[in-house]
């Protein structure tokens, strides 16, 4: 009797489940069919053999102009009004009410009072690029850079705009540009990581480690952090009793065990990445120490990067290290300023000159140094942050108190080398520098263009995740901005 009751209850439960789930199961079936249709009659098939991920050099889709990239990341949003984008109309109407609507981030402390730049602009170089007197050393490389005055992300928040420019979307958890490049192309060195992040001693940038995250790409393609002070990489020295032959024998035996373990677990990408990391660490014991040793550089090089000036020394060292890394085959290097370093909601007239003093000379020196060594043609240098600033006063009051609020609708950055045009100014914002209105370059366009210079087609650079082919540009409408290229 108990068995019959149990069976009856089970049958009823089963019928209830099927009845209540009919619509859900039907929707699931339709979803699966739609997914298959979008990827062809049979859908995207998983690879038959386990994929091997490494940083060995790999061919591009087409001939490449660039081999490496250094991104100088100005976290917080440098004011394009005061550095790169002079606006005579703002000077004419300084202090008047802005003639339109603005998107504020800090509405409580912002005003609609136009704030003309207190600094002067002048033509620089043979090209006549107009730049602020706050960045005289950048003026010295005007003939080597492309200035983009029409950058746009449209998300008025630090974290989302950083994520957009770094990973292609405003949501977290996706691979960064450096991870995509090292996944696609590997590196030209077996002795150093393919992707390195040089962080500021002040503080991690907004979004922290997400700035150099591999997202859902294999862990092997995550950026490796170089510490801002010595020792820049911990535990590189071998204990005295293991140096030489003892270490070599130990590593040989360890490699034998690791490979045996990996063969039994062929689909564990994290395991493969961990083993590769240990192998790389052994190579780095000599190579990294040598690459980070600036004592071998000449006195003239030290002075060019500002290592003889306390205001520029620390950032200059990291710029010089970046050059030494790409010189040794590293694919992608990011040099970060600290958290909110350029986020001048108040005290702009004091804080902005200090920020420019820190980075202007070393950033320009990097371009000059790469050029004189014949490396600029194949190395992209990027300088910029996640946003610009508004054309109106925030925190009105004493001249030393005023600042500018966020603006992601039109701002400036510059790029150099690796196939970018030299001495060229691209795009424009409106008369008050608020919105990009001419030759707009959004983050998808920027990524498609960078990949193109590395010989990669953004639609073809894919990674299979959950049976879906993922890309950096994420099927968004974008283009390679060929006007920027030689």
Query: Which alpha helices (H) appear in 373-462, and where do they start and end?
Result: 443-453
d(C-alpha 308, C-alpha 310), whole Å: 7
Q: Which of 18, 67, 152 is nearest to 441 (CA)?
A: 152
Strands (E), 56-156: 68-73, 110-114, 121-124, 129-132, 145-152
Which CATH number, 3.40.720.10, 3.10.20.340, 3.40.30.10, 3.40.50.620, labels domain 68-233+294-484? 3.40.720.10
Give pTM, 2 decimals: 0.85
Question: pLDDT truncated to tens, each residue of the chain (486 aa)?
Answer: 444 444 444 444 444 444 444 434 344 344 333 444 444 444 455 555 667 788 999 999 999 999 999 999 999 999 999 999 999 999 999 999 999 999 999 999 999 999 999 999 999 999 999 999 999 999 999 999 999 999 999 998 999 999 999 999 999 999 999 999 999 999 999 889 999 999 999 889 999 999 999 999 998 899 999 998 888 887 776 666 666 677 667 667 777 777 777 777 766 666 666 666 666 666 666 788 899 999 999 999 999 999 999 999 999 999 999 999 999 999 999 999 999 999 999 999 999 999 999 999 999 999 999 999 999 999 999 999 999 999 999 999 898 999 999 999 999 999 999 999 999 999 999 999 999 999 999 999 999 999 999 999 999 999 999 889 999 998 678 999 999 999
pLDDT tens-digit map of 247-305: 667 667 777 777 777 777 766 666 666 666 666 666 666 788 899 999 999 999 999 99
Are 165 and 171 within 8 A, CB to CB? no
Q: Which residue has the tokens 């780095």?
A: 284
Position of tokens 């703002």? Answer: 90
**Quick check: helix, strand or coil at residue 468?**
strand
Reported as half-sphere exposure (CB side, CA atoms, 13 A), residue 281 has a value of 16
Q: CB-hemisphere CA count at 13 Å for 254?
A: 12
CB atoms within 10 A of CB 26: 10
Determine the Cα–Cα distance for residues 113 and 116; give it in Å rounded to an integer.
10
Peptide bond into 231 cis (omega under 30): yes
Distances (CA, A) of 270 to 219, 220, 281: 6, 8, 16
Scanning 264-305, the segments in alpha helix (DSSP H) are 269-291, 299-304
C-alpha dist (Å) from residue 301 to 108, 115, 310, 328, 336: 47, 39, 16, 18, 21
| Residue linked to tokens 């270490």 | 247
């Amino acid at each position: 009797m108990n068995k019959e009751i149990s069976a009856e209850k089970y049958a009823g439960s089963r019928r209830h489940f099927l009845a209540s789930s009919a619509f859900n199961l039907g929707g699931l079936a339709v979803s699966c069919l739609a997914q298959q249709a979008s990827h062809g009659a049979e859908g995207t098939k998983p690879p038959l053999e386990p994929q091997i991920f490494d940083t060995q050099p790999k061919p591009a889709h087409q001939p490449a102009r660039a081999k490496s990239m250094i991104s100088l990341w100005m976290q917080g949003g440098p004011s394009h009004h005061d550095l790169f984008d002079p606006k005579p109309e703002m000077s004419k109407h300084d202090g008047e009410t802005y003639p339109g609507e603005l998107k504020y981030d800090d509405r409580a402390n912002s005003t609609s009072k136009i704030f003309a730049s207190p600094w002067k602009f002048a033509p620089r170089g043979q090209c006549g690029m107009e730049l602020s007197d706050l960045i005289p050393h950048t003026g010295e490389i005007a003939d080597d850079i492309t200035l983009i005055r029409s950058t746009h992300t449209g998300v008025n928040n630090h974290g989302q705009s950083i994520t957009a420019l770094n990973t292609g979307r405003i949501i977290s958890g996706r691979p960064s540009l450096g991870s995509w490049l090292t996944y696609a192309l590997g590196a030209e060195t077996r002795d150093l990581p393919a992707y390195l992040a040089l962080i500021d001693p002040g503080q991690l940038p907004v979004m922290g480690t997400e700035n150099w995250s591999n997202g859902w790409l294999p862990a092997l393609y995550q950026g490796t952090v170089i510490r801002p002070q010595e020792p820049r990489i911990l535990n590189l020295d071998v204990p005295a009793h293991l140096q030489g032959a003892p270490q070599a024998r130990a590593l040989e035996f360890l490699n034998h065990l690791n490979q045996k373990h990996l063969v039994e677990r062929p689909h564990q990408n994290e395991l493969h990445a961990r083993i590769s990391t240990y192998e790389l660490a052994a190579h780095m014991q000599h190579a990294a120490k040598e690459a980070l040793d600036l004592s071998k550089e000449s006195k003239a090089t030290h002075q060019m990067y500002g290592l003889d000036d306390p205001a520029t020394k620390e950032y200059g060292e990291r710029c010089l290290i970046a050059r030494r890394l790409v010189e040794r085959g590293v694919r992608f290097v990011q040099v970060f300023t600290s958290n909110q370093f350029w986020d001048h909601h108040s005290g702009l007239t004091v804080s902005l000159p200090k920020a420019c003093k820190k980075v202007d000379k070393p950033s320009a020196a990097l371009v000059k140094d790469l050029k004189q060594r014949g490396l600029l043609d194949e190395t992209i240098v990027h300088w910029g942050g996640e946003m610009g600033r508004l054309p109106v006063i925030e925190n009105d009051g004493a001249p030393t108190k005023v600042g500018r609020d966020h603006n992601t609708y039109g701002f400036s950055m510059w790029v150099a080398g690796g196939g970018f045009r030299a001495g060229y100014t691209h795009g424009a914002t409106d008369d008050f520098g608020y919105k990009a209105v001419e030759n707009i370059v959004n983050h998808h366009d920027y990524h498609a263009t960078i990949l193109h210079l590395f010989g990669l087609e953004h639609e073809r650079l894919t990674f299979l995740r959950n049976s879906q082919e993922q890309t950096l540009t994420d099927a968004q409408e974008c283009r390679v901005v060929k006007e920027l290229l030689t």
